[in-house]
Amino acid sequence: MIMTETPHSDRDPLKVVVVIGSTRPQRIGRIVADWFVGKAARRDDMTVHVVDLAEAALPVVLTGDLAPDDADALAQVTPQLDAADAFVIVTPEYNHSFPASIKNLIDWHYTQWRAKPVAFVSYGGLAGGLRAVEHLRQVLAELHAVTVRDTVSFHGVAGRFDDAGTLIDTEGAAGAAKTMLDQLDWWARSLREARSVRPYAA
């Protein structure tokens, strides 16, 4: 299958889709994602769009006919992934890996990830969610995505934000976010240009 795109100017802002992976009722993932989105939204080289899997309610059965509600849920998400130039996945670590909700999103889509960069914001206990990130790298490689090396990781996340959802110590995280977004920008523009002049075939 060949993947083609409409040419873009290098000055066109990138469309970055931020995926919030946790769907648990008592999650801190939305707080972490809101902090990151606030950082990314200040840049003039990208626009940020959020896909919150707790709100998307994607179906979990990958075979058979879709119920109307399931088709509607996919219709709300799939076009956003199609149009994305790059992705950032915000993930916790569950049992040394990433949540089933993220795997479900990935499994419902294939071409949307191909030849596009994916970056990660992770959070957890001592490991800061990094084991989840390493597993995601393997899965996304199978889909021909390019994962960005540097991450934003919150170790001991329960103590990193105050009751109002404000990050207590911003210096290290802010620097990590800038480094990661700079790398994401480079990869997204390079791959967008490459896809427009040399269709990606897989």
Element of type H or E holding 118: strand 117-123
HEC letters along 25-75: CCCCHHHHHHHHHHHHHCCCCEEEEEEEHHHHCCCCCCCCCCCHHHHHHHH
Within the chain, what is the greatest distance between any pair of CA atoms?
A: 49
> What confidence tens digit (pLDDT) does each residue in 112-149 have?
999 999 999 999 999 999 999 999 999 999 999 999 99
Give residue 7's pLDDT band: very low, low, confident or very high (50, 70, 90).
low
Mean pLDDT of 188-202: 92
Which domains does the chain show, CATH number per domain? 12-59+68-201 (3.40.50.360)
pLDDT of residue 127: 93
> What confidence tens digit (pLDDT) does each residue in 72-111 have?
999 999 999 999 999 999 999 999 999 999 999 999 999 9
C-alpha dihedral (121, 154, 157, 161), degrees to nearest 10: -90
pLDDT of residue 93: 96
Cα 53 to Cα 110: distance, rounded to the nearest angstrom: 17
Report pTM.
0.92
Is residue 135 within 8 Å of 13, Cβ to Cβ?
no
Element of type H or E holding 100: helix 100-107
Give residue 62's pLDDT band: very low, low, confident or very high (50, 70, 90).
low
* Chain-centroid distance, C-alpha 143: 14
User: Can you read off the two tokens belonging to residue 56?
Assistant: 């998307």
User: Can you read off the two tokens belonging to residue 6?
Assistant: 């409409």
Is residue 45 within 8 Å of 187, Cβ to Cβ?
no
pLDDT of residue 60: 87
Is residue 189 within 8 Å of 195, Cβ to Cβ?
no
pLDDT of residue 6: 55
Query: Which residues are registered as beta bridge partners of 47?
Result: 15
Strands 86-91, 46-52: pairing kind = unpaired
Of 2-6, 12-16, 30-34, 36-40, which range is least confident?
2-6
Q: What percent of the chain has pLDDT over 90?
A: 83
